[in-house]
A = this chain, B = another copy of it.
């Protein structure tokens, strides 16, 4: 167990790193944030920070030697950086989880190997392979780069033969995956945490609504049958165990014909878990810090019902309206520039659990 006063190293300085640093501070732990961008939001609340690239081995080494444990706040950190760091300091979650989460094919194979449902899928490395995959999977389908996509970037929908060539152009010839379209009733996620001792806990299953491929709201309780919720949590637990995972992991699932389908995992705290900041005594951020610090995991009990809504750049001018909303936890990320679709903050609106 890391003592209060220990130093946690965080790769990435965005809002997730910022909220991790705030949660660590609450527990008396310090953070050293490492990010390439000069004005990273997490720097404002970190005891120390380094501005350097993820390929700067000298800077990474100095960073590793200054901290007691390393974690990351986003999954597009190069896995090589984490492999380099984990020779110098404990990295949690480790490179294995990161490598899997960065690779949609590995991710889906893992889910299938655990008996979970997923979309039909096929690896695609050429236009010819795409044509034959489309023949097998049918319409509609989605072509995604196998790596480094998020918030709908690097994706193209294929509804007919006319879309095939355009979709292949959209992924710029990168190794890709064609996925069938899951006809889903709802989207849900599981925010789970696995401790250093293997203990697994999960928050209540969350129901998510996306707009333009960006998370819009997360609501708890989710409208989902108890057995399906339990199944979703069991899948998340299985994935975490298979990856020797330590920390908080987000698992996104579709609720569709025949059960829950794994969409993807995020090896980090997750936007759909932000509601835990105000509806639980221990947030996903504190939970992650507890796990990677070797602490006992905290309570996942939920004291209130809650709807989390993201505040994007185009909504940020309305900040005063959000500030006046009753019974709400409001969070802004300290970002200077309010660009279209940029995540600027979120608001958790609570209602009594018994209501």
Query: What residues make up the interface of A, taking CB atoms closer than 8 Å to B?
Result: 1, 3-5, 18, 21-22, 25-30, 44-45, 47, 278, 281-282, 290, 295-296, 298-299, 301, 303-304, 316, 319-320, 323-324, 326-336, 345, 348, 350, 352, 354
Establish whether residues A330 and B47, one from each chain, have CB atoms under 8 Å apart when the complex forms. Answer: no
Establish whether residues B329 and A282, one from each chain, have CB atoms under 8 Å apart when the complex forms. Answer: yes
A45 / chain B contacts, CB cutoff of 8 Å: 21-22, 25, 45, 47
Establish whether residues A26 and B331, one from each chain, have CB atoms under 8 Å apart when the complex forms. Answer: yes
Establish whether residues A334 and B22, one from each chain, have CB atoms under 8 Å apart when the complex forms. Answer: no
Establish whether residues A350 and B281, one from each chain, have CB atoms under 8 Å apart when the complex forms. Answer: yes
Closest Cβ of chain B to A342, distance in Å, is: 13
Query: In the complex, A203 Cα to B295 Cα: how many Å?
Result: 32
- Cβ-neighbour of A299 out of B25, B301, B328 (below 8 A): B328
A296 / chain B contacts, CB cutoff of 8 Å: 323-324
Establish whether residues A319 and B3, one from each chain, have CB atoms under 8 Å apart when the complex forms. Answer: yes
Establish whether residues B299 and A4, one from each chain, have CB atoms under 8 Å apart when the complex forms. Answer: no
How many monomers of this chain does the complex have? Answer: 2
Closest Cβ of chain B to A328, distance in Å, is: 7
Establish whether residues A1 and B345, one from each chain, have CB atoms under 8 Å apart when the complex forms. Answer: no
A30 / chain B contacts, CB cutoff of 8 Å: 44, 334
Establish whether residues A303 and B334, one from each chain, have CB atoms under 8 Å apart when the complex forms. Answer: no
Establish whether residues B28 and A333, one from each chain, have CB atoms under 8 Å apart when the complex forms. Answer: yes
A320 / chain B contacts, CB cutoff of 8 Å: 1, 295
Closest Cβ of chain B to A115, distance in Å, is: 33
Establish whether residues A281 and B281, one from each chain, have CB atoms under 8 Å apart when the complex forms. Answer: no
A304 / chain B contacts, CB cutoff of 8 Å: 281, 303
Contacts A27-B331, A303-B304 given; 9 further ones with Cβ under 8 A? A4-B319, A4-B332, A5-B336, A25-B334, A26-B330, A28-B331, A30-B334, A303-B303, A303-B350
A335 / chain B contacts, CB cutoff of 8 Å: 28
A21 / chain B contacts, CB cutoff of 8 Å: 45
Closest Cβ of chain B to A261, distance in Å, is: 33
User: Residue on B with the closest CB to A293?
Assistant: B323
Establish whether residues A290 and B323, one from each chain, have CB atoms under 8 Å apart when the complex forms. Answer: yes
A336 / chain B contacts, CB cutoff of 8 Å: 5
Query: In the complex, A329 Cα to B298 Cα: how many Å?
Result: 9
A290 / chain B contacts, CB cutoff of 8 Å: 323
Supply 8 A–B pairs (Cβ within 8 Å), ascending by A. Answer: A1-B320, A4-B316, A18-B25, A25-B44, A25-B334, A29-B332, A298-B328, A301-B327
Closest Cβ of chain B to A172, distance in Å, is: 36
Establish whether residues B281 and A329, one from each chain, have CB atoms under 8 Å apart when the complex forms. Answer: yes
Establish whether residues B330 and A27, one from each chain, have CB atoms under 8 Å apart when the complex forms. Answer: yes
